[in-house]
Amino acid sequence: MYLVESKGGAIVCMLLALSFLGTWPAVMTLLERRGRLPQHTYLDYSITNLLAAVIIAFTFGQIGESTAKKPNFLDQLAQDNWPSVLFAMAGGVVLSVGNLSTQYAWAFVGLSVVEVITSSITVVIGTTLNYFLDDKINKAEILFPGVGCFLIAVCLGSAVHSSNTADNKAKLNKLLSDQKDGAIAKYFLSFSTYTATKDIENGSGPAGNVKAGTAVFLIELEKKRSIKVFGKSTFVGLAITFFAGVCFSLFSPAFNLATNDQWHTLEKGVSHLSVYTAFFYFSVSCFVIAIILNITFLYYPVLDLPKSSLKAYLGDWNGRGWAFLAGLLCGFGNGLQFMGGQAAGYAAADAVQALPLVSTFWGVVLFGEYRKSSRRTYILLGSMLSMFIAAVAILMASSGHRK
């Protein structure tokens, strides 16, 4: 099997993972804003997410000669390594639940802020756990200031969300006061009966004909999107976001235990799971949980979403290609993160949690987030991103080398 053995190779893996993991949430958000049910999108995403793990296992995991200490993927499937397999599968479960949660949080809190808060919680908790699991191979005097930057970013992200919410309320109130013919009331009354445009793949519709960031844009977006957020407490979105962050903080330490057996759960003579075998089991459990939960949500939806069915899902091809792309990006992104972490330490590999830098770019460019916001919001947003730039640089600088 192929192993990343140099610090430079590990950093390349982390940078590629950063770009992939920062892009797939934007693709999922795009589909939700165009009216596609999140249950349909996540089922499609789950298929290609597992496919990415299978591709990685049968390529990198099978390259080269298989030895007793470093067996190839297929050879390792027959070994008695179930304690490590269970750790890998536990990591897949919490990642799947976390990803599913963020799909709903994006609608309430916004792509940029959700990614900031969840990634920051992941680093603060997960990186600390990985540092001790990795026998402190990362430089603590560099690593923990980076963790501190992420912790500050959590506070700044919450402040950005609060400020942007206030800006949006001010825009809507101004529009309401400007209306003299009751047109604004018609907008709100039509939310429950609005049917998304058929041309969902190209995103045509009213929201595309008005300027991003305006009150009319916010109203038209609400009418078109699948998850309705007007009139709902922002606490719901923040609660989902923090729950997702806790889930994300646990999957990397679980994967670390699966590949390095720090708790000595394997029988003597049994080789540690390779990163590719662990990632395969990790992705299988992620897929199974996603299928179970999303099929349940088809018939028993949450957050006032409409009911669906397997038949409706199978016939829904609008945006399916984008959902497949999101699954591939996430799958390959996770695989690259783990490959880099095995070489340079999983604490340093958590630098990919700076993915909000990428997600914020897509949020601003694709979705018009923070357009026509207040100066205060822009200052907070800039400060938040500055903390992330500092954090990713510091965490990468803390990289060690696994012996």
User: Which pLDDT tens digit goes with each residue over 150-160?
Assistant: 788 778 877 88
What band does 284 get if pLDDT is binned at 50, 70 and 90? very high
3-state secondary structure of 355: coil
**What burial letters (b/e) apply to 74-109, b meaning 16+ CB within 10 Å?**
ebbeebebebbbbbbbbbbbbbbbbbbbbbbbbbbb
pLDDT, tens digit, 9 for 90 and up, residues 324-377 = 999 999 999 989 888 877 665 655 556 666 677 788 778 877 777 788 888 998
pLDDT, tens digit, 9 for 90 and up, residues 168-212 = 888 888 877 766 545 544 444 444 443 333 333 344 444 445 677
Cβ distance 379 to 149 under 8 Å? no
pLDDT, tens digit, 9 for 90 and up, residues 301-312 = 998 899 999 999
Cβ distance 400 to 138 under 8 Å? yes
pLDDT of residue 238: 84
In this prediction the pTM is 0.80
Which of 336, 326, 316 lies closest to 290 in space, CA to CA? 326
What band does 140 get if pLDDT is binned at 50, 70 and 90? confident
pLDDT of residue 102: 93
Helix ranges (DSSP H) in 228-355: 234-260, 275-299, 310-314, 320-344, 346-349
Interhelix angle for 356-367 vs 111-121, to 10°?
170
3-state secondary structure of 253: helix
Mean of pLDDT values over 278-288: 96
pLDDT of residue 156: 84
Cβ distance 133 to 257 under 8 Å? yes
pLDDT of residue 299: 96
Which of 101, 221, 116, 244 lies closest to 172 in space, CA to CA? 221
What band does 233 get if pLDDT is binned at 50, 70 and 90? confident
Q: Residue 280, Cβ neighbours under 10 Å: how many?
A: 25
DSSP secondary-structure letter at 80? S
**Chain mean pLDDT for the chain:** 82
